Structure 1
């Protein structure tokens, strides 16, 4: 009985660490887009430097998962919880990489002036952060409904991405001088769209963890 109690305490710690990593990644998204909106290279540099901490957290959580598998005797349902955690950290690490890519775009635009104030891009970032929070909450709460709701939110992000794409395309067509920056801004939105996909991936793993069945959320 004591072993099971210790196991569940370790499992709780694992989930707390996952949420902590999620907060770090969410902050990276926020700061990366803030650096771009303000063309603030110092903030961008903070995001790039902070990626090492996110990577370290991933290694730490993976090690915790392996220890739990090696030292305990998890039941089938616990195995899925641990296995899902190992999948989630990979998606979180990749989200961190996308935030770094956005921050690097800020550095590439150093000394430039934005073609127009960013409005939809920060909105898209907020949507992806909300998806990430929901995905992690669905894991901790084992909530199937929250996980499944990510499909609709992913569609909303895709729709906004298409809208921004058309606006940037118009800017490129209106003047060749706009092409380079518009292309970079498009890549930023593509990174945000990929972040939403990773949040959706987490939702899919949570559904599998709860139900034992795979369900596609990203169409």
Structure 2
């Protein structure tokens, strides 16, 4: 295959990775909005849209395999393909987490924990994910380090939110007249809130993974991977 065609394939692969990231980030943003607005229809659309993300992932996975098998890339090209393969895996998992948020929206029973600012946590994760993909596109190693540092702030926000939920649960006085079903609904809502916080923290972890693979791709530096 002509070298020009090979370079075009590499560029097309990168463009497709960026397109997949746009789809995933949009789904995550919509999932957060659906949760805030208690929009069940939007939540159902997010859940149904997961097939599109899975298809994008499988197509890109095959593109990466074909480039590795047919072109036998070395040095920078090999790192580009290997890192892109890892990055689309992280993006696919973020898509799954967006589906989780949609399911939590559909299953929620009542308004709880107004002092927990899920929107602030969600905005933080979105910014990290967008910036991680921006670093991949621009091949910007400095941004990779910045994203890794910001993950500590996200971890702090998530830990504080989880502690608030647990504290409020401990302090909640149940009405003796509450039925078993009411108590069960309360516990399920507590569980969903904790899972929401956990899943958003995981989005941040995936953003760091993307930054780590980008740093490796650009500078052959494995520092953030471990």
Same topology, TM > 0.5: yes
Pick which of 131-140 and 80-89 moved more. Answer: 131-140
Q: Deviations over 1:61-120 (max 9, x none)?
A: 1111122223335332101101111100110001111111111111111xx331254862
1:207 pairs with 2:204: no
Q: Deviations over 1:31-86 (max 9, x none)?
A: 11222112221111111101000000001111111222233353321011011111
Cα distance, 1:141 vs. partner? 1.6
Structure 2 unaligned segments of length 5 or more: list them.
175-182
Aligned residue in 2 for 1:129: 126
Structure 1 unaligned segments of length 5 or more: list them.
none
Computing the radius of gyration over CA atoms, which structure comes out larger, 1 or 2? 2
1:162 pairs with 2:170: no
Cα distance, 1:186 vs. partner? 1.2
- Is the Cα–Cα contact under 8 Å of residues 25 and 92 in structure 1 kept in the other structure? yes
Report the TM-score, using the length of structure 2 for normalisation: 0.88
1:32 pairs with 2:31: yes
Question: 2:224, 2:66 → 1: CA distance?
Answer: 30
Check 1:48–1:118 CA distance in 2 against 1; reply closer, same or farther (3 A cut). Answer: farther
Question: 1:121, 1:48 → 2: CA distance?
Answer: 20
Q: State the aligned residue count.
A: 215
Question: 2:98, 2:136 → 1: CA distance?
Answer: 22
CA RMSD of aligned residues (A): 1.9
Cα distance, 1:211 vs. partner? 2.2
Aligned residue in 1 for 2:201: 193
Check 1:69–1:116 CA distance in 2 against 1; reply closer, same or farther (3 A cut). Answer: same
Report the TM-score, using the length of structure 1 for normalisation: 0.90
Question: 1:159, 1:172 → 2: CA distance?
Answer: 20
Question: 2:93, 2:138 → 1: CA distance?
Answer: 23
Alignment of 1:46-85 (within 5 A): 46-85=45-84
Question: 2:103, 2:47 → 1: CA distance?
Answer: 8
Cα distance, 1:166 vs. partner? 2.1
